[in-house]
């Protein structure tokens, strides 16, 4: 599942970041396999989206977030 497919509050674990012009930048910002990520806010027109990534908030455009593959965790862990 792509990161852009998550609903606000859903918690997922990053599986991979696709080869793209954004890969190195996203990895430097903490988007690495195994990290927990959760969408928390969407801009009025849906782009960009703010994500809670480990201990901080990261804002990403849909084009960037579309390159991140995630696995949704059990709904019991989502808020």
pLDDT of residue 74: 78
pLDDT of residue 76: 67
pLDDT at 72: 95
> Which structural domain, as residue segments, surrounds residue 19?
3-77
What is the per-residue pLDDT for 65? 92
- 19 and 25 Cβ atoms separated by less than 8 Å: no
Nearest of 11, 18, 14 to residue 66 by alpha carbon: 18
> What is the Cα–Cα distance from 17 to 79, expressed in whole angstroms?
25
pLDDT by position in tens, the chain (length 79): 999 999 999 999 999 999 999 899 999 999 999 999 999 999 988 889 999 998 899 999 999 999 999 999 976 655 4
pTM given for the model: 0.84
Q: Are the CB atoms for 32 and 66 separated by under 8 Å?
A: no
Helices (H) and strands (E) in the chain, counts: 2, 5
Give one word for 70, left, alpha or beta, with left for phi > 0 and alpha for psi -120 to 50.
beta
**CATH number of the domain where residue 15 is located:** 2.30.30.90
- Looking at the structure of the chain, the number of domains it has is 1
């Amino acid at each position: 599942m792509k990161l852009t497919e998550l609903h606000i509050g859903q918690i997922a674990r990053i599986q991979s970041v696709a080869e793209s012009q954004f890969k190195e930048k996203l990895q430097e910002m903490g988007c690495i396999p195994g990290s927990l990520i959760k969408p928390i806010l969407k801009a009025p027109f849906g782009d960009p989206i703010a994500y809670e990534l480990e201990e901080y908030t990261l804002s990403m455009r849909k084009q960037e977030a579309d390159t991140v593959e995630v696995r949704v965790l059990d709904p019991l862990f989502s808020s």
